[in-house]
Structures are given as structure tokens and as C-alpha cells.
Amino acid sequence: MLTLDVFRETLEKSPDDQTLLRAAECALLQSNANRHKHWEAALRIVDAKEMQQLNAQYRGKDRPTNVLSFPADLPADVTLDLLGDIVICAPVVQEEAATQGKPLAAHWDHMLIHGVLHLLGFDHESDAEATHMELLETQALATLGWPCPYQADPAHLAEGTTG
């Protein structure tokens, strides 16, 4: 269903490849993405310095963020089922989990699910979009045995940390 190529560009601890793949596949299932396709995506796990550079370059925000997603922009005649690239900042994920009192593994799963949903075209620019995306995230996390991540952090979107 999904090939997830994982590239670790930092010495910070991160989940193993199988755990990451399982979370990404839960996002695909909840989104009702075409189950007959074999999707491909890449995940880079980076440090705060690199994430800050990427966030400044692509979003105009000169600070590290937890996750960035770069959907594949393929010509219409290319039939690859390439979703795109996700970049997750390990130290930011660790800091957020600690600050928000969430299990680190749950927050890693959440950030990857969030990133995959962005690759599939979901967004949180409007209240309606945010509500729909949060529902998909919550359902995917429940499949993995995690509680709703937004109950503990109601100001998550107002802070603008999740990209």
C-alpha cells in the first residue's frame, strides 16, 4: 500500500521505520486514498537548524517547526503514485510532546499522519478544513491506540506550529 523511504539526517532519536510506516498507512486508510494504488513517499528526519532553514525558505517563518510536507508536483502524463516528501524535526517533536504532556510515540505518529494528510491534499486553512483534517488525524491515531491529540492542546492551530 505504501513505500516510505526514511532518511535520518540527525542523531536525535526517532521511531523505527516499521512504526513510521504503520502511522503513515493509517493516514492513508482514514483519508480513503485509493487502496488499489501503491503509494510512495519520502520522510526526512532533521535537526532544528535544518528545519528552521526549510521553514524560512518555504513558509517565510524563521523558526523550526514540527513537520513540513511537500506534495509531489508531477506532470499530468506521469502515472507514478508518488505522494511527495515529509520533513519532521526530531527535537521539536520531542519538545512539544514534553511540553504538552503527550507520549512521545503518540506525537511522532500524529506528526507523520498530519504530514501524509497534507500530501494527500488536506489542509487546515479554514475552520471547516481544520475540523475535517483533525477528525481524520484523530481517527488514524485511534486506530493506533492513541487518544485525541487536540483535547490537551486546544490552541494548536492558533499557534501555527503545525505545517
pLDDT per residue over 78-95, tens digit each?
Answer: 777 899 999 999 999 999
Mean pLDDT of the chain: 91
Q: What would the pLDDT profile of 101-124 be if each residue is shown by its tens digit?
A: 999 999 999 999 999 999 999 999
Domain count, the chain: 1
- Whole-angstrom Cα distance, residue 124 to residue 137? 12
Q: Is residue 163 in a domain?
A: no
pLDDT given for residue 1 in this prediction: 82
| Pairing mode, strands 82-89 and 67-71 | antiparallel
pLDDT given for residue 158 in this prediction: 40
Q: What is the pTM assigned to this prediction?
A: 0.89
pLDDT given for residue 152 in this prediction: 52
pLDDT given for residue 153 in this prediction: 53
Q: Is residue 94 in a domain?
A: yes
Residue 23 has which C-alpha cell? 502511522
CA angle 45, 103, 64 (to 5 degrees): 35
CATH of the domain at 44: 3.40.390.30
What are the C-alpha distances in Å from 86 to residues 56, 77, 82, 120, 147?
16, 24, 12, 12, 23
**Residue 145 — pLDDT band, cuts 50, 70, 90?**
very high
Q: Which domain holds residue 109?
A: 2-157
Percent of the chain scoring above 90 in pLDDT = 80
Q: Is residue 102 in a domain?
A: yes
